[in-house]
Amino acid sequence: MENRRTFLKKIMAASMTLSSPSYTALANVKATIKMKTNNPKKALIVWYSQTGHTKRIGQIIADTWQKQGIKVDTSDIRNFDKKLMVGYDLIAMGSPVYYCNIPENAAKWLNGIPKIDGTPVVSFVTFGGPGDGQELTAAGILELLVDQGGFPVGMETFGNMSTFAPTWSMGNEKRILKYRHLPNQKTYEKARKYAETIIENICQGKPIEIKTKFNFELMLKYLPQAWFTKLLIGHHAIDENKCIGCGTCVEKCPVDALDPTAFKVDREACIVCFGCVNNCPSQAIDMEFMGKKVYGFNTFMKQNNIVIEMPEALKHEVDHHRNN
């Protein structure tokens, strides 16, 4: 079976034969307002994280800033009151790449935040395997923050093993396992240095500017990739015989598409993030992709004896909780 990138290239090649519009460079991110402080005292780090990769990067940034004397609050966007954002003088937002773009729910959340005029803002993005669209996603997050008055001071991307469940479910495990060593301590050290650089940029009053030129990845951003994927899902429901009623699927679904009491999935609302199948502890999410049974990320890791390497700072935190 051809991989997703090859498949999408063929689709785009076909569409380009129908029309050949002219494209110009797109300036995505530029400071348009004066930064309100170069000595942040209170920071907010929010993320959308399904399998934990993005959350870990956010926690490392938080740990680094706390060691520099900054009070840091952290949260998944689904658990944070957006109105409180105006009370911070540094804001970071993180997300995984979603079909070469910002996840639909994350973009909607960012579009609804209040004005944060002059607040230094940064983005961080996690991506699987060799990656597609990670810079576009990071720039897109930053652009939405700047649209609400943020002052851009940082943007970075971090690689990990892919969590796209249909890939291994279709028998392409090798493509995933090539990156089974990620994230590792080098990844986490990169995140720590990024956090330090952000503070340096703020102290110097130094904004970043991002210009994105048209290229293949930008074309992918505007393709309805989620829609194509959705068409290939033949069955998506909750197996009543396997469901243990833990509520994990409800917690992880960003669009409230699952009803475990009725064992149903609202397929129209579903944005095919695979959060439900990836996180269900009892494999109760009954999903088929191109006729093949889809199984989740946690199951895939167990089958291949994969244990994600934890950041050193978080290891100490886990050990502390165990001993108390």
Summarize pLDDT for 272-287 with one digit per residue, the tens.
999 999 999 999 999 9
- At 313 the pLDDT is 77
Which pairing describes strands 71-76 and 42-47: parallel, antiparallel, or unpaired? parallel
The predicted model gives 306-313 an average pLDDT of: 91
pLDDT value of residue 213: 66
> In this structure, are residues 159 and 138 in contact, taking their beta carbons and an 8 Å threshold?
no
Per-residue confidence band for 315, with pLDDT thresholds at 50, 70 and 90: confident
pLDDT for res 217: 60
- As a whole number of angstroms, the distance between CA 170 and CA 93 comes to 33
What pLDDT was estimated at residue 324? 37
Q: Which of 140, 80, 139 is nearest to 114 (CA)?
A: 80
Q: Which CATH code for domain 233-289?
A: 3.30.70.20
Q: How far apart are CA 148 and CA 85, in angstroms?
A: 11
Q: Where are the domains of the chain?
A: 4-221, 233-289
What pLDDT band is residue 20 in, cutting at 50, 70 and 90?
A: very low
Alpha-carbon span 196 to 218, nearest angstrom: 30
**DSSP run (H or E) holding 225:** helix 225-231
- Looking at per-residue pLDDT, the higher value among 323 and 296 belongs to 296
Tell me which of 32-41, 98-107, 310-319 is least confident: 310-319
Report whether the peptide linkage leading into residue 114 is cis, meaning its omega lies within 30 degrees of zero.
no
Give 96-132 pLDDT, tens digit per residue. 999 988 999 999 999 999 999 999 999 999 999 999 8
Helix/strand/coil for 179: coil
**Could you give the percent of the chain with pLDDT greater than 70?**
85
- pTM, two decimals, is 0.88
Domain 4-221: homologous superfamily in CATH: Flavodoxin domain (3.40.50.360)
Question: What is the average per-residue pLDDT within 223-242?
Answer: 91
User: What is the pLDDT, as a whole number, of residue 87?
Assistant: 96
Determine the pLDDT at residue 210. Answer: 86
Who contacts 296 (Cβ-Cβ below 8 Å, separation ≥6)? Answer: 165, 274, 277, 278, 279, 280, 283, 285
Contacts of 89 (CB under 8 A, 6+ apart): 36, 37, 40, 41, 42, 43, 119, 120
- Over residues 131-182, the pLDDT tens digits come to 988 988 999 999 999 999 999 999 999 999 999 999 999 999 999 999 999 9
Give residue 25's pLDDT: 34
